[in-house]
Amino acid sequence: MGQTFVALNGHQSKIIVTDFSIGSKTLLYSTAEIPTYAVIDSEETLVLWLPTGESGEFSIKDATLASTLSDGGSSNVQIHPGNGELTVSLAQSGGMSVFKSSNRLRIILVDQTATYRFWAPTLTADPFAPANQTGERI
C-alpha cells in the first residue's frame, strides 16, 4: 500500500484509530471517525463518518475483497486487496454508503448530517455491554 494522507481542514484535530476490535474482526486503521459499532440484524456493523468533501481510508484485517452494497454517499472509491488486509479509500460526497468485506463485516460510511441521525444505544445498564446488546435507529 502507498502513503496515506490525512487532511485537517481549518482548526481541527483528528484521531487516527488503529487496531480497533469490532467483535471478531479488526479495523487495522481508519482516517474516518467511528461513531459506533454494533451487531445489527445479526451482522457485525461498523459505522464510520467523514465530513462532506473530505477523503478517507480504512483497512480491515483478514479481508481480501469488498462489495459495495450502496454508494449513495461516496465517490472515487478504490478498493485495494493486500496481503491479509483490505484497504478502501474514498471521498465523502454526502449521504450514506454501505460496504461488505469478505470476512462478513458491514461498513456504513456516513456524512456528518447522517451521523447525527445514527444512534446505537446499549440495551442494558452494563457499561461493558457487548456489541450484540445494542439497538439502532436509522
| Residue 17 CA from chain centroid, whole number | 11
Task: Dump the DSSP string for 57-122.
Answer: EEEEET---EEEEEESSEEEEEEEE-SSEEEEEEEE-SSEEEEEETTS-EEEEE-HHHHHH-B--B
| Higher per-residue confidence, 62 vs 129 | 62
Average of per-residue pLDDT across 54-78: 84
By CB neighbour count within 10 A (0-12 exposed, 13-18 middle, 19+ buried), where does 13 fall? exposed
> Quick one: pLDDT at residue 62?
93
Mean pLDDT of the chain: 80
> Quick one: pLDDT at residue 113?
78
Residue 30 predicted with pLDDT over 90: yes
Highest mean pLDDT among 10-19, 53-62, 110-119: 53-62
SS3 state of residue 9? coil
| Higher per-residue confidence, 126 vs 99 | 99
Q: What percent of the chain has pLDDT over 70?
A: 77
Domain ranges of the chain: 17-116
Residue 98 predicted with pLDDT over 70: yes
Residue 138 predicted with pLDDT over 50: no
Topology of the domain comprising 17-116: beta-galactosidase, domain 2 (2.102.20)
Average of per-residue pLDDT across 31-54: 87
Cell 500500500 maps to which residue?
1
Residue 67 dihedral angles phi and psi, to the nearest 5° = -115, 145
Average of per-residue pLDDT across 105-129: 75
Residue 72 dihedral angles phi and psi, to the nearest 5° = -75, -10
Residue 44 predicted with pLDDT over 80: yes
